């Protein structure tokens, strides 16, 4: 049977890096093994789950290019894929467990349970539920239920079960002593299922073969194994992923920077770069390859190359990788990606791009080498879209502060104004020759021209910039800078 895996986010917030990694590993494992990737929305926390969060999670997954074979919006044989819509399934599973005697009603009140916990804390009683109600005669229990007495349903952990061994694909064996497993609650007094019950009913129903998730769930796993056993269902394999840390060795959080996929998108990251980088947080292809395409990941991913050590999230490395992916785009591809950012910065319109796409593609060489994020592009290209530029005072001071610099800028304006053709090479040779004639360092001359034309000492490559801006505008800006 080919693997069936699931990603089961709770829509209590955005899709964060940790969740994205879980989704990516499940997806990649399904793709690499020709298995099935199921998306299930664990929305049982009614207070914190919202449709907006679900929509955002789905949007982030689609943006990353993680497609699911069964789940919301695509359907599948195990519909519905929202836990809140599966109450009938949980009720049916509970009925089966009642019939087999693996679940029993418990009438202990909250106050009674608290008193028991108090005794346990004092070291005088068992930790966990003491099974008071397990011995109630079924006909008595049925009568109390019929009389409307509030009750929960608990798992009857087999007395002879013995220790529970979780044989984790990533972490190896962890033994959970049977004594630590109490008869935990499956269904609350209001009829809602607990996480450990709903999840197992769903994983069993959906024929999940491998549960790949964060290791914050490792402690739930022995309980879930007991539920699988009570349902008479094969237990899936488990793979628990280690935590993701910030550079300081603490759990990755907002303090470290962006953590939601949406925030990275807004910061100008490409989905390919996020997918690649996040995939490497705890998995490696061969220990050295860092640039791994979606296709390679989908073909080569394997669970046995997941590391059990915590992964460190390195924002600088991600940014570097994003630059690699930006440079990997074709001019047309990058032009298309940068347009929304130029539009948002108020520099241009989509209509203008559609009217002259080739011109926008010709801007790509100006920024491709240096851009690390899409957010770098609009500031770097802004000078091309404005009538004039405001000189950055520090830049002007540095590049135009001396008489010599201003004289050479005036001479450069005259020399360029006289040119018959206007292209990169002609501009470059004209300015280089002028520097020789004037006896100034080329760098000094170029810097003066750069600041006059772009407003700043930091700009895209000079001759390309001038060529794209056009002769008239370039010369006008140089002259304007002399009067500034
Ligand atoms: N809804 C749970 C979570 O988001 C899923 C845990 C699991 O994969 O079983 O943490």
**Tens digit of pLDDT for each residue in 390-404?**
999 999 999 999 999
Pick from 338, 343, 386: which is nearest to 363 by CA?
338
254 is catalytic: yes
Pick from 239, 222, 216, 402: which is nearest to 305 by CA?
239
Pick from 76, 65, 17: which is nearest to 41 by CA?
76
In whole angstroms, give the CA distance from residue 308 to residue 291: 22
In whole angstroms, give the CA distance from residue 253 to residue 13: 13
What is the model's pLDDT at position 484?
77
Token couple for 193: 């299922």
By most ligand atoms within 8 Å of CB, the mutation choice from 215, 217, 222, 235 for ligand 1 is: 217
In whole angstroms, give the CA distance from residue 78 to residue 359: 51
Q: Do domains 1-72+242-328 and 87-241 have the same CATH topology?
A: yes
What is the model's pLDDT at position 121?
84
Indicate the angle between helix axes 462-469 and 424-438, nearest 10 degrees: 120
The residues spanned by each domain of the chain are 1-72+242-328, 87-241, 329-379, 387-484
Residue 426, by phi and psi: left (phi above 0), alpha (psi -120 to 50) or beta?
Answer: alpha
By most ligand atoms within 8 Å of CB, the mutation choice from 4, 10, 210, 235 for ligand 1 is: 10
- Cut 0.95: pTM above it: no
Q: Is the pLDDT of residue 170 over 90?
A: yes
Residue 21: pLDDT band by 50, 70, 90 thresholds?
Answer: very high
In whole angstroms, give the CA distance from residue 284 to residue 278: 11
Residue 126: pLDDT band by 50, 70, 90 thresholds?
Answer: confident
Token couple for 194: 């607990």
CATH number of 1-72+242-328: 3.40.50.620
**Of all helices (H) and strands (E), which one includes residue 173?**
strand 172-176
Q: Is the pLDDT of residue 258 over 90?
A: no
Token couple for 463: 């001759």
Q: Is the pLDDT of residue 257 over 90?
A: no
Give yes or no for residue 217 CB within 6 A of ligand 1. Answer: yes
Q: Is the pLDDT of residue 278 over 90?
A: yes
In whole angstroms, give the CA distance from residue 107 to residue 412: 92
105 close to 155: Cβ distance less than 8 angstroms: no
What is the model's pLDDT at position 254?
87
Residue 216 alpha carbon to ligand 1 centre in Å: 9
What is the model's pLDDT at position 127?
77
CATH 1.10.10.350 fits 387-484, yes or no: yes
Domain 87-241 - what CATH class? alpha beta
What mean pLDDT is predicted for residues 35-51? 96
What is the model's pLDDT at position 122?
85
Fold of 329-379: Helicase, Ruva Protein; domain 3 (1.10.8)
Atom of ligand 1 nearest to the CA of 213: 8
Give yes or no for residue 199 CB within 6 A of ligand 1. Answer: yes
Residue 9 alpha carbon to ligand 1 centre in Å: 6
Q: CA distances (Å), 80 to each of 38, 70, 85, 377, in order?
A: 12, 10, 6, 43
Q: Is the pLDDT of residue 188 over 90?
A: yes
279 close to 285: Cβ distance less than 8 angstroms: no
Nearest residue (by CA) to ligand 1, atom 6, is 8
What is the model's pLDDT at position 124?
78
Give yes or no for residue 168 CB within 6 A of ligand 1. Answer: no
Token couple for 446: 């170029």
Atom of ligand 1 nearest to the CA of 211: 8
Q: What is the mean pLDDT of the chain?
A: 96
List 250, 254, 317, 441, catalytic entry: 254
In whole angstroms, give the CA distance from residue 401 to residue 414: 20
What is the model's pLDDT at position 430?
98
């Amino acid at each position: 049977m080919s693997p069936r895996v699931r990603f089961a986010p709770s829509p209590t917030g955005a899709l964060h890096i940790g969740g994205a990694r879980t989704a990516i590993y499940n997806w990649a494992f399904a793709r690499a093994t020709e298995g099935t990737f199921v998306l299930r929305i664990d929305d049982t926390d009614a207070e914190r789950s919202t449709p907006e969060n679900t929509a955002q999670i789905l949007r982030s997954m689609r943006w990353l290019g993680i497609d699911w074979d069964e789940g919301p919006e695509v359907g599948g044989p195990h519909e519905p894929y929202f836990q809140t819509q599966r109450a009938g399934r949980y009720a049916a599973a509970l009925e089966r467990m009642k019939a087999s005697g693996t679940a029993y009603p418990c009438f202990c009140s909250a106050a009674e349970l608290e008193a028991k916990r108090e005794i346990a804390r004092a070291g005088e009683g068992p930790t966990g539920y003491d099974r008071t109600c397990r011995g109630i005669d079924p006909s008595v229990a049925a009568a109390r239920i019929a009389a409307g007495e509030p009750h929960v349903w608990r798992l009857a952990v087999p007395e002879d079960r013995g220790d529970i061994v979780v044989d984790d694909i990533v972490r190896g064996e962890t033994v959970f002593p049977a004594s630590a497993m109490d008869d935990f609650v499956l269904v609350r007094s209001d009829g809602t299922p607990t996480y450990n019950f709903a999840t197992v009913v769903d994983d069993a129903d959906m024929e999940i073969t491998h549960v790949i998730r964060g290791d914050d769930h490792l402690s739930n796993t022995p309980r879930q194994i007991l539920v699988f056993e009570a349902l008479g269902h094969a237990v899936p394999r488990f793979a628990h992923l280690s935590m993701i840390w910030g550079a300081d060795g603490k759990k990755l959080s907002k303090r470290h920077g962006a953590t939601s996929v949406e925030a990275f998108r807004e910061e100008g990251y490409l989905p390919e770069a996020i997918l690649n980088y996040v995939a490497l947080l705890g998995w490696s292809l061969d220990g050295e390859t860092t640039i791994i395409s979606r296709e390679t990941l989908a073909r080569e991913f394997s669970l046995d190359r997941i590391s059990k050590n915590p992964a460190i999230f390195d924002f600088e490395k991600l940014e570097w990788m994003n630059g690699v992916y930006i440079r990997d785009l074709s001019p047309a591809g990058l032009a298309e990606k940068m347009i929304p950012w130029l539009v948002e910065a108020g520099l241009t319109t989509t209509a203008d791009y559609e009217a002259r796409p080739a011109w926008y593609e010709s801007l790509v060489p100006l920024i491709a080498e240096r851009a690390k994020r899409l957010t770098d592009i609009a500031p770097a290209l802004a000078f091309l879209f404005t009538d004039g530029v405001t000189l950055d005072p520090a830049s002007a001071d540095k590049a135009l502060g001396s008489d010599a610099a201003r004289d050479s800028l005036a001479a450069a304006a005259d020399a360029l104004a006289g040119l018959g053709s206007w292209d990169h090479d002609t501009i470059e040779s004209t300015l280089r020759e002028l520097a020789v004639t004037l006896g100034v360092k080329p760098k000094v001359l170029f810097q003066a021209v750069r600041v006059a034309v772009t407003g700043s000492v930091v700009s895209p490559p000079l001759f390309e910039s001038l060529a794209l801006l056009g002769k008239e505008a370039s010369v006008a800006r140089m002259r304007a800078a002399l009067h500034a």
